[in-house]
Amino acid sequence: METKMKESQLVTKDQLFEHWEGHRRLTRRVIEAFPENELFTFNIGGMRPFGAIVQELLAIAEPGLKGIVTGDWQPFDESLKYSTKEELLEAWDRTTANLPSLWEQLKEERFQQTVLSFEQYEGTGISTLQYFVDNEIHHRGQGYVYLRALGIEPPFFWERE
């Protein structure tokens, strides 16, 4: 007699997306907390300014999700396109507004399929999405350090509403 194991699901597709959106809301508040004159210039220990880091996050989120959904990967482009806080926040908001429709197109079987994102990172769809979130958390942590060095209290990391 053959035994079939039932796969258990710990997190639904929608719960995963809400988790990512919560991190994006928090990262937006970190961007807002930066003084305009420090966002693209202030750094510590040779790390990039937070404005440049945010442009990397923008280069990953929407193009990356689109790549997972469609299999069509554009080259990774984190070139500096924005030079003001307002432009950066507008780009962040535009990306945030575009993610739900892409997420709706994401078929759950893509989570277990292998993808090569941006011709650099090979993993499953789920591990690639987790990388996107982990990368954002990591870089937001740099933003927290910068804000504290500037004497600014960053938003509480657990408040993602």
What mean pLDDT is predicted for residues 84-94? 97
pLDDT of residue 83: 93
Cα–Cα distances (Å) from 126 to 18, 36, 109, in that order, read 15, 35, 10
Axis-axis angle for helices 85-105, 50-70 (nearest 10): 20
Residues 105-149: pLDDT tens digits?
Answer: 999 999 999 999 998 889 999 999 999 999 999 999 999 999 999
Q: In this structure, is the dihedral angle defined by the CA atoms of residues 74, 97, 68 and 160, taken in order, positive or negative?
A: positive
Percentage of residues of the chain with pLDDT beyond 70:
94
Residues 27-60: pLDDT tens digits?
Answer: 999 999 999 999 999 999 999 999 999 999 999 9
Residue with the larger pLDDT of the pair 5 and 17: 17
* Domains contained in the chain, CATH given: 22-149 (1.20.120.450)
**Rounded Cα gap, residues 40 and 56, in angstroms:** 13
pTM: 0.90
